[in-house]
């Protein structure tokens, strides 16, 4: 009860607190977005060609996707009735959701940088799939907890 402004403890606080169970979903989104977009870097690099995007470019596009998602979620989804509980997120929640996406993307970037130089192309994408799946599982468990 004491930290409701920071961590959502019940369903009515989702979207109003800094962090809620959807925050983990944004980490998943960050991992997935960076991993998928990094194909424009890793595939040409593996074939000894000039990459279409640098990893910084992949990160910037990922960051823009996170901002775009929050706009989509809090404008369009509200209008068509798809938004959770039909309410707009607080500014604190929007900012933390973007930051959680950045955390996921930076984690993927760090692993890509660490592994790709060691010629472990497939390991990086295995990390992306496993990381996304793990966080998705945690998200589903936490979401089920809120609905009990």
Assigned domain for 1 exists: no
Is the pTM higher than 0.75? The answer reads yes
Among 5, 12, 21, 6, residue whose Cα is nearest residue 141: 21
pLDDT tens for each residue of 10-31:
666 767 778 887 888 898 899 8
d(CA 148, CA 91): 27
d(CA 12, CA 118): 47
Assigned domain for 36 exists: yes
pLDDT value at residue 3: 55
Residues 1, 100, 26, 136: what is their CA dihedral angle, to the nearest 10 degrees?
-80
Assigned domain for 17 exists: no
Contact by Cβ (8 Å): 132, 32: yes
Assigned domain for 12 exists: no
Q: For the chain, which ranges sit under pLDDT 50?
A: 1
21, two tokens: 């169970």
Assigned domain for 15 exists: no
- Tell me how many domains the chain contains: 1
Assigned domain for 3 exists: no
pLDDT value at residue 122: 77
pLDDT value at residue 60: 97
For the chain, the maximum distance between any two Cα atoms, rounded to a whole number of angstroms, is 55
pLDDT value at residue 1: 44
- Domain of residue 81 covers 22-147
pLDDT value at residue 148: 55
């Amino acid at each position: 009860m004491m930290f409701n402004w920071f961590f959502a403890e019940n369903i009515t606080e989702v979207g109003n607190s800094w962090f809620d169970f959807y925050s983990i979903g944004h980490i998943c989104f960050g991992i997935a977005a960076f991993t998928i977009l990094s194909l424009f870097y890793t595939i040409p690099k593996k074939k000894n060609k000039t990459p279409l995007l640098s990893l910084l470019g992949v990160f910037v596009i990922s960051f823009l996707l996170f901002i775009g998602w929050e706009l989509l979620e809090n404008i369009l989804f509200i209008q068509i009735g798809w938004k959770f509980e039909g309410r707009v997120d607080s500014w604190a929640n929007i900012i933390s959701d973007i930051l959680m996406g950045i955390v996921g993307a930076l984690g993927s970037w760090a692993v890509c940088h660490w592994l790709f130089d060691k010629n472990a192309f497939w390991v990086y994408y295995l990390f992306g799939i496993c990381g996304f799946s793990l966080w998705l599982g945690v998200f589903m468990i936490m979401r089920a907890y809120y609905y009990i």
